[in-house]
Chains A and B, each alone.
Chain A
Amino acid sequence: MLRQIEGSKAIAETVALCRPEVVCAYPISPQTHIIEAVGAMVKAGTLAPCEFINVESEFAAMSVAIGASATGARAYTATSSQGLLFMMEAVYNAAGLGLPIVMTLANRAIGAPINIWNDHSDAMAVRDSGWIQLFAESNQEASDLHVQAFRLAEELSVPVMVCVDGFILTHAVEGVDLLDQSYVDSFLPPYEPRQMLDTKAPVSIGAMVGPEAFEEVRYLAHLRQLDALELIPEIAREFFESTGRDSGGLVRPYRTDDAETVVVAMGSVLGTLKDAVDARRDLGELVGVLGVTSFRPFPSEAVRDALAHARQIVVIEKAFSIGAGGVLSTDIAIAIHHEQTLLRTVIAGLGGRAITRRSLEKVLDDASRDELAPLTFLDLDQGAVDRERARMQASRRSGPSAENLLRDRGTVSPKIPA
């Protein structure tokens, strides 16, 4: 049923349709609305049987999910940013144990400076944890991905993280076509664990594995992710065939066939990018967009195919590896592995800075003139940076940069003087 609904609410309702048996909640913006809505459904009895556990930390949230999943229950939780980092040890552990937990990550920057707004630093921080990471472009896709995520996770015994841009999607009220229960029930069979705590067939889960087998364990986890590269498009195809909606999959090419320049990005910025690309196409420029839906496993082959004809690739990233550069860009570079293609990285939208169509078009302008630097920071206030550098040069006790920058910028003055 198509409804005008907040993204968080749509995700929560979809998660409920997946009949999770244990949901653990710890509040952190901007994920909170999701877990609140699930909690309300459990409390009201509309989602049952389901245990909703208010835990004392994200670390506990993932740990509760681990325990529940290992006991054969479908387990779900959601988090963001610092919360993901606080549960990081358990995030790795869930993957290492092969527990098919599904978690919504409402993407948010990581402090310090503390910042509650959107970027992808949190997801990037756990990219090597062994979780499958799927990025949603819209709230429709965010909802649909959760159903696919449970199916994927449970078929492969690998946890899946559905990454949804915090605030931009989670707090946006948009039209979302919600699935109905009978469909979800048919698409997502009851969870049958590969291993579980069972008094009738006891096993020890979580052994200590030494050098003699650890590499094999890791390689097997890698192979499961490679299996996911097959399974993700399969599930998306099945979903498309039954719902008519093109959600999920590995990558999402848009007008790339004849594109000389392809912009690669993940998440909600893709919509804005498509508008920008349409505008440039109207001007006759050969530009396209490649959305990466599955960041882990990284679909190198699909990316390579989609970018095969591009002369220039611009990767727009909401995160970066400090001291190195783009994260997604690195994966792209490895995927295309030929040097004729120009690869440009644009870091954008950090800590919630709005990525405007105007700025994106400027990037395309620069790209079309081959004037885009290998690494660009979108809408960077170079002056503020220079002034802070100068302050740091001038005085040993220059103080905290974040606060200095805020002071430097001053309050935004109202245009109507009092």
Chain B
Amino acid sequence: MTNPFAITLDVGSSRANHTGSWRVERPVYVDRLPPCNDACPAGENIQGWLYEAESGNYEAAWHMLVEDNPLPAIMGRVCFHPCETACNRVQVDEAVGINAVERFLGDLAVEKGWALPEPGPDTGKRILVVGAGPAGLSATYHLRRLGHHVRLVDSAPRLGGMLRYGIPAYRLPRAVLDAEIARIVAMGVEIQLEHVVHDVEQERRDGMFDAVFLAVGAQLGKRVDIPAGDSSRVIDAVSFLHQVADDDAPLLGRRVVVYGGGDTAFDAARTARRLGATDAVIVYRRNRERMGASGEELEQALGEGVTVRWLSTVSKFDGDRIMLEKMKLNEEGFPEPTGEFEQLDADSLVLALGQDTDLSLLEHANDVNVRDGAVEVLDSMMASPSGIFAGGDAVPAQRTATVAIGHGKRAAHGIDDFVMGRSAEAKVRHELASFELLNTWYYADAPRTERPELERVRRQTNFEEVIGGLTQDNALFEARRCMSCGNCFECDNCFGVCPDNAVIKLGENMRYQFDYDFCKGCGICVKECPCGAIVMVPEHN
């Protein structure tokens, strides 16, 4: 059909008019650092594995997870999840239950028997890892993936370090612990248990190791000088928990007082309850707000009958009675004695006042700096240019399993660079995906799914796991609460909202591309991107 001149036009002819020339700013797709990833001490790509989990690709999610952390079932239980604190969703409703999903994935992997990645091709390099706690296990895993030979030594009869000897089974069932450790061992690791390294330099020379990673933990419970009539009834929490873990629980009596306000104090008090104590009282010199343990842990402990004496110090223990001195907080928030005293019946006193590291093995390592009982390290966790690295509780950092796992990973890469003679690559960190960059209107209103808690009575009498896991549905739901901050999750908004059809959809998992021939630079795509993954940048001539 030949159209009447000018009046009638053929379809699509406007594509000859490149309206991109109107533009003074152009939209550009970016990836931003989600706050969860930013906050994760283990350096997990949380948003990334949640993305897979959202789609129900649990195995892919797990594989992405173990890229950084080989112990998700464990960490899904014991991590204090700073990711959730940082989560932008807090400002919409509640944080995404990242930790719960992590555990779900970890458990699922154990159940399905998913294997960790194969070790890398053998490099011929030998690495000594001292300490089989989370830092050591993490380093071992990453070093194996990099193809290095690892000898993992520990003074204890079993692997796990503080995971096994510091965390009670009701928080971390041993089967889970064993299963995840076994997966690492299965990568081919030379293991030496009940072996104490006295001199790291000697050990290194004897074993011809190219590098050493020290992950010796903080195994020494801090003691304070408390006048005590019968010192046999005073025990430090680390030892207490260790003995419980070795099925050799000490007899503490019916009335147990735990002195301290950290997680360990709570672990000890809750463990005491389970061992038959009728009274488990935590004595803490500050108030609830300044407590080191998490609110979650406090709630659980209170629910199990543990009581807390805030703003109190133990001044004397005479065998059946403890003398407490009441404290008050000064203007700086530090506790000060008041001179008021009260008594508390007690059969035993557990000291949970912190731990020290035994660094005697470094006596001959002259180029390692130790300050305030901790090994000083570079970003790469290198403690000595001769190839000694350190991490976990032995270095100045927050003493958590998650931090330790992060150290292990970082140290493994530092060691890899060192033994392979490479200089470390500076990692580019994306700009943070802050809440203001999001358009949260688009996210469905969905409150967080709570994990089921074991009923209270059962919790007081046995070491069954207190916190249950998510069902598959719940996990999927929880994963889908992720707002994918700063990273395109293919919601098609930009593709849809462009008045000029100037967005090209590249297909599943390939995201989009702007058609700058037609984009007029209105910026609607930026404004309506739910996750803040587009920015406007000025056009250059």
Contact = CB atoms under 8 A, between A and B. Distances in A.
B4 A157 contact: yes
Contact of A207 (B1, B8, B11): B8
B7 A216 contact: no
A97 interface: yes
A213 B6 contact: yes
A213 B7 CA distance: 10
Interface stretch (A7-15, A160-168, A197-205, A322-330): A197-205
B1 A203 contact: yes
Given A96-B7, A205-B8, 9 more contacts: A98-B4, A195-B3, A195-B8, A203-B1, A203-B11, A204-B11, A205-B7, A206-B8, A217-B6
Nearest to B2: A194
Given A203-B10, A204-B11, A195 B1 contact: yes
Interface in A188-224: 194-195, 201-207, 209, 213-214, 216-217, 220
Nearest to A213: B6
B101 to A, nearest CB: 49
Contacts of B397: none
Nearest to B13: A204
20 contacts: A96-B7, A157-B4, A195-B3, A195-B4, A202-B11, A203-B11, A204-B10, A205-B7, A205-B8, A206-B7, A206-B8, A207-B6, A207-B7, A207-B8, A207-B9, A213-B5, A213-B6, A214-B6, A217-B7, A220-B5
Contacts of A157: 4
A92 B257 CA distance: 100
A199 B6 CA distance: 20
A194 B1 contact: yes
Contact of A204 (B1, B5, B9): B9
Contacts of B3: 195, 203
B85 to A, nearest CB: 56
A130 B4 CA distance: 15
Contacts of A217: 5-7
Nearest to A204: B9
Contacts of A202: 11
A213 B5 CA distance: 9
B4 A194 contact: yes
B11 A97 contact: no
Contacts of A97: 4, 7
Contacts of B1: 194-195, 201, 203
Contacts of A216: 5-6
A98 B6 contact: no
Interface of B is mostly: loop
Interface string A83-124: 000000000000011100000000000000000000000000
Interface in B1-39: 1, 3-11
Interface string B402-430: 00000000000000000000000000000
Main SS class of interface, A: loop
A217 to B, nearest CB: 5
Give the residue among B6, B7, B9 with the most A Cβ atoms within 10 A.
Answer: B7
A205 B9 CA distance: 7
Nearest to A210: B6
Contact of A209 (B6, B10, B11): B6
Contacts of B8: 195, 203-207
B7 to A, nearest CB: 6
Instruction: Across the A-B interface, give the 4 residue pairs with the lowest CB-CB distance, nearest first.
Output: A213-B6, A204-B9, A209-B6, A205-B8
Nearest to A212: B6
Nearest to B4: A98
Interface residues on A, range: 10 to 19
A194 B9 CA distance: 13
A153 to B, nearest CB: 14
Interface residues of B, number: 10
A98 B5 CA distance: 11
B398 to A, nearest CB: 66
A244 B458 CA distance: 113
B1 to A, nearest CB: 6
A298 to B, nearest CB: 23
Contacts of A194: 1, 4
Contacts of B7: 96-98, 205-207, 209, 217
Contacts of A203: 1, 3, 8-11
Identify which of A96, A195, A206, A213 gathers the most chain B CB atoms within 10 Å of its CB.
Answer: A195
A216 to B, nearest CB: 7
A267 B129 CA distance: 114
A220 B3 CA distance: 13
Contacts of A195: 1, 3-4, 8
A209 to B, nearest CB: 5
Which of B1, B3, B4, B10 counts the most chain A CB atoms within 10 A? B4
A265 B72 CA distance: 102
Contacts of A98: 4, 7
A202 B3 CA distance: 11
A70 B384 CA distance: 86
Contacts of A96: 7
Interface in A29-59: none
Interface in B100-119: none
A214 B10 CA distance: 18
A203 B13 CA distance: 10
Contacts of A204: 8-11
Contacts of A220: 4-5
A157 B1 CA distance: 14
Contacts of A209: 6-7
A51 B73 CA distance: 74
Nearest to A201: B1
A175 to B, nearest CB: 42
Contacts of B6: 207, 209, 213-214, 216-217
Interface in B249-271: none
A414 to B, nearest CB: 60
B4 to A, nearest CB: 5
B14 to A, nearest CB: 9
Interface string A274-296: 00000000000000000000000
Contacts of B4: 97-98, 157, 194-195, 220
Interface in B431-486: none
B8 to A, nearest CB: 5
A204 B3 CA distance: 10
A194 B5 CA distance: 12
A199 to B, nearest CB: 11
Nearest to B12: A202
Contacts of A206: 7-8
A273 B492 CA distance: 77
A200 to B, nearest CB: 11
Contacts of B9: 203-204, 207
Nearest to A193: B1
A205 B6 CA distance: 9
A226 to B, nearest CB: 16
Nearest to A217: B6
Contacts of B5: 213, 216-217, 220
A204 B9 CA distance: 5
A209 B390 CA distance: 78
B17 to A, nearest CB: 13
A219 to B, nearest CB: 10
A68 B330 CA distance: 89
Nearest to B11: A202
A202 B10 CA distance: 7
Contacts of A214: 6
A194 B4 CA distance: 8
Nearest to A96: B7
Interface centre among A157, A203, A214, A216 (most CB of B within 10 A): A203
A201 B7 CA distance: 16
A149 B13 CA distance: 35
Contacts of B10: 203-204
A219 B8 CA distance: 16
A97 B9 CA distance: 12
